Amino acid sequence: MVGPRRKFRQRPKKVGAKKNTRIKAQKARLLAAGLDEAKVKKLNLLETRNALKKI
């Protein structure tokens, strides 16, 4: 007989290193689109994503 099913598994949690690489890539795309570097550095995560939607 086979063991019980694994019903206790959860979704994988977001890892900080992967999140940081995503943010870095998004900011690089904003710089490539022509935004000012000083402005891009001051953007938080939500502002960065909204700026990407506009380009």
Q: Which amino acid is at 53?
A: K
Report DSSP state, residue 35.
-
- Given a cut of 80, whether residue 44 has pLDDT beyond it is yes
Note if the pTM is more than 0.85: no
Torsion of CA 26, 44, 15, 29, to 10 degrees: 0
For residue 9, name the pLDDT band (cuts at 50, 70, 90). confident
Query: Could you give the CA distance from residue 53 to residue 50 in angstroms, rounded to a whole number?
Result: 5
